[in-house]
Structure 1
Amino acid sequence: MPTHSAGVADVRSPIHLAPNAAKTFHDLSSLALERDDADRWLAEGPRADDLRHAARQVCALAFSGDHPDARRDVHHVLHRLYDLHLARPVPGMTRNQESVELLRLRKQIEQAWQAWEHNRIGDVPENLTPDAIGGAIKAMWRQHAGHNHPVFEFMRTEADRAQIIKYFTTDYALNMRFYDLIVLSLLGIDEDVRMEVAGNFWDEMGQGNAARTHVRLYRDLLDYLGIEDNPAAFVDALGWEGLGGYNLLLYFALNRREYFRSIGALAITELSDPDQYAKLIEGCRRVGIGTDRPSVLDYYSEHVEVDALHGDGWIDNVIVPVLRRYPDQARAVLEGAAMRLNTSKDYWDWQLAEMRLLGKSAPDAVATL
């Protein structure tokens, strides 16, 4: 089973990027997304072909050439493509949710990216019974290099206030989108697993208390810290590592064939949060965040309490019943868990590096985007 987040070591030939391929990929994808009808705009001249050729080269550089800037560019475009399906409904929205060309671009990116992700899964147990899956997921989690990641011990014992605030700004995107992920995980599922997933949704909704929804609790924390709620800026500040973890969960949720990997990935999310967030809360109190108003940390303290139950509940009441119905999907569940572990470690490695960099460059500064 995987114990690291790096890809399988190999020797690759250098990838030669055609002149302006990265710029072509960025410009054409951005302009198409901004048009009311991307398909009509891309059909003019060679734009559609140019975009496909540029995307192929940039994806090769990102996932075969191990080029972090290219990987970030690809993940940022993929994030925008996924957002077409999750954007808040407002007047004047584009028609691009149904765009054939943008769907083709999305599939082109997903194919290259998923090949890379699968290449670093490593070995997973074979032929597990449904009753053995919980132990296998927990063993995979505990043996992974991301388990007890040092970023959380750093925040508990060393990080200053600005560095911890930096963590909150980078953690924004997925925290604010988790409601949608739970909603998507409810679609089309079997009746015997609905109650567990609905319970997760009800907790996200503050159990009916508008002031206690998880989105509202996170916004309360941002307000307390004087951080402007600016989703676009928070996403733009992420490296490929943060975007990759975010995109993985959306990829699973938006592709019905990935359902079994999705429930494995969500199990890891529920299992890993409590211990990590307990360390974060301790670090916050050490630097004075929430000491005058403890309720501003309720987003994280609630996850410490609730996710301790959700982890086992998700395994026992979602994964096990599903695998009793489809026992041949145990491997897919474990693959989803492994992929979530790898992308989480990528993200935490990046967060720790960003916080340490902030401490070196401006030890007394207030964290900004």
Structure 2
Amino acid sequence: MQSNLVMFPIAEFSRQDTQVKEKSVTQYERAEQQFLELLATEDLDNNLDKKFAIIRDFEKAVAMAIDTAYEHDSQDNSAHCFLQRILYWINRLNLFWYDDLRRYTNERSLYLSSCRNHIEASWQKWELAQIDVTELKNLNVKQALIERANADLEPLLSPASRYIREEMSKTGYCHLLAIASFDGLVEGSRLSRILGGAANEVQCTLVRVLLEEYGNGRLSRKHSTFFAKMLDEFGMNTEPEGYFDLVPWEVLACANHNFLLTERRRYYLRYSGGLTYFEVAGPAAYKNYLVAAQRLGLSDAAMGYWELHIKEDERHGRWMLEDVALPLAELYPDDAWELLLGYDQEKLMSDRAAKAVVNSIRQAEKIKY
């Protein structure tokens, strides 16, 4: 990955925007820089007193962002983005990036853990409020999973999907690749964190999914390698997180949500339900991107990743439903509704992220950078 941690771009406001809003955005920008300084502090937990002023200002910004984003349910993207970026900087320490080992000096910091837990508590409460959990608990879980999977396998085209298929330009396609590289270049990494433990058919199915994502141990066949080839075809940056500043908070939220679910064994069913949706619905999204690339007359290298995923994820979707979700519903009859919660949350958050990505693409096409 790149050696320098990056700042997120501040939105440009019109002259009519209030000074208070401008001040809050500037404060978030400054607070993230302060947090990155804390992240790099040697033995942070034993040096908190030396960083008192920085910690005070940072925590003040976090409190303001939580109040704005979750308590008042504001549409202020800067507050959401700040919080999701902070969570991501902490969560990414759970993966190894083959970079400077000193970056992991605080990977078990109690202070960083408390920051993550504080933000997650408010964020997850806000996310859960958007799902009718009571209704899920009253459903026939296996029937509901099958019905959801059948509906999401070939959904009707949304306005966003039609835009990608029929209107998106080459500039927009490159912007799509830039944002998608955030996940595409480290694909499957979070799945690896739930595979340990007792062996059974469910575990073995998940291992099979991971192995295919990782090209069965061959770098040339790893899915991220195919994604890098698409980027390379346009002379784009192929380093993980190379376009981090372009990633909407809605996409970051999906990543952070998966970090949370794979970090907690208690959320195993929720993660399995979410992964079931991801694998079932993936081919439909990738077909949109493939159609766009074909319409633009792009080379095989510029679209190869989508073709690979359409073929493999159709299989993965069946595996996840038939060999993971449904067996887990039988194994945990009293908690099986959590599979539906994970499924529905992943769908909700993915749809939200997709809309944000299309909005970002439209803006990029206006700029034509």
- Structure 1 window deviating more from structure 2 (230-239 vs 269-278): it is 230-239
Match of 1:229 in 2: 238
Q: Is 1:95 equivalent to 2:101 in the alignment?
A: no
Q: Is 1:300 equivalent to 2:310 in the alignment?
A: no
For residue 202 of structure 1, the aligned residue among 189, 208, 211 is 211
Match of 1:243 in 2: 252
1:321 partner amino acid = P
Name the CA distance, whole Å, in 2 between partners of 1:356 and 1:22: 25
- Cα pair 1:163 1:358 within 8 Å, conserved: yes
Change (3 A) 1:312 1:52: same
Q: Give the TM-score, by structure 1 length.
A: 0.84
Unaligned runs of at least 5 residues, structure 1: 1-15
Name the CA distance, whole Å, in 1 between partners of 2:119 and 2:196: 25
Q: Is 1:80 equivalent to 2:89 in the alignment?
A: yes
- Cα pair 1:128 1:330 within 8 Å, conserved: no
Name the CA distance, whole Å, in 2 between partners of 1:289 and 1:277: 15
- Cα pair 2:45 2:111 within 8 Å, conserved: yes
2:35 partner amino acid = S
> C-alpha displacement at 1:222, in angstroms?
0.8
How large is the RMSD of aligned CA atoms in angstroms?
A: 2.6
For residue 62 of structure 1, the aligned residue among 62, 69, 75 is 69
Match of 2:36 in 1: 30
Match of 1:6 in 2: none
Q: Is 1:262 equivalent to 2:271 in the alignment?
A: yes
- Structure 1 window deviating more from structure 2 (68-77 vs 52-61): it is 52-61
> C-alpha displacement at 1:137, in angstroms?
3.3
- Structure 1 window deviating more from structure 2 (84-93 vs 192-201): it is 84-93
Name the CA distance, whole Å, in 1 between partners of 2:113 and 2:165: 43
> C-alpha displacement at 1:97, in angstroms?
0.8
Name the CA distance, whole Å, in 2 between partners of 1:284 and 1:229: 19
- Cα pair 2:328 2:336 within 8 Å, conserved: no
The CA deviation string for residues 246-289 of structure 1, in whole angstroms up to 9 with x for no partner, is 21112211222221111111111101111221121121011122
Higher relative contact order (CA 8 A, sep 6+): 1
Name the CA distance, whole Å, in 1 between partners of 2:261 and 2:159: 27
- Cα pair 1:134 1:316 within 8 Å, conserved: no
SS at structure 1 position matched to 2:304: helix
Match of 2:132 in 1: 122
1:126 partner amino acid = K
> C-alpha displacement at 1:176, in angstroms?
2.3
Unaligned runs of at least 5 residues, structure 2: 1-19
Q: Give the TM-score, by structure 2 length.
A: 0.84
> C-alpha displacement at 1:118, in angstroms?
0.4
Name the CA distance, whole Å, in 2 between partners of 1:114 and 1:328: 22
Match of 1:161 in 2: 170
Name the CA distance, whole Å, in 2 between partners of 1:350 and 1:51: 27
The CA deviation string for residues 310-338 of structure 1, in whole angstroms up to 9 with x for no partner, is 11210111112222121122221111112
Match of 2:117 in 1: 107
Name the CA distance, whole Å, in 2 between partners of 1:24 and 1:355: 27
List 4+ stretches of structure 1 deviating above 6 A. Answer: 16-21
The CA deviation string for residues 147-179 of structure 1, in whole angstroms up to 9 with x for no partner, is 644333222111111111111111111222332
For residue 333 of structure 2, the aligned residue among 320, 327, 330 is 327
For residue 348 of structure 2, the aligned residue among 304, 329, 342 is 342
Q: Percent identity?
A: 21
- Structure 1 window deviating more from structure 2 (108-117 vs 42-51): it is 42-51
> C-alpha displacement at 1:43, in angstroms?
3.0
SS at structure 2 position matched to 1:327: coil
- Structure 1 window deviating more from structure 2 (254-263 vs 26-35): it is 26-35
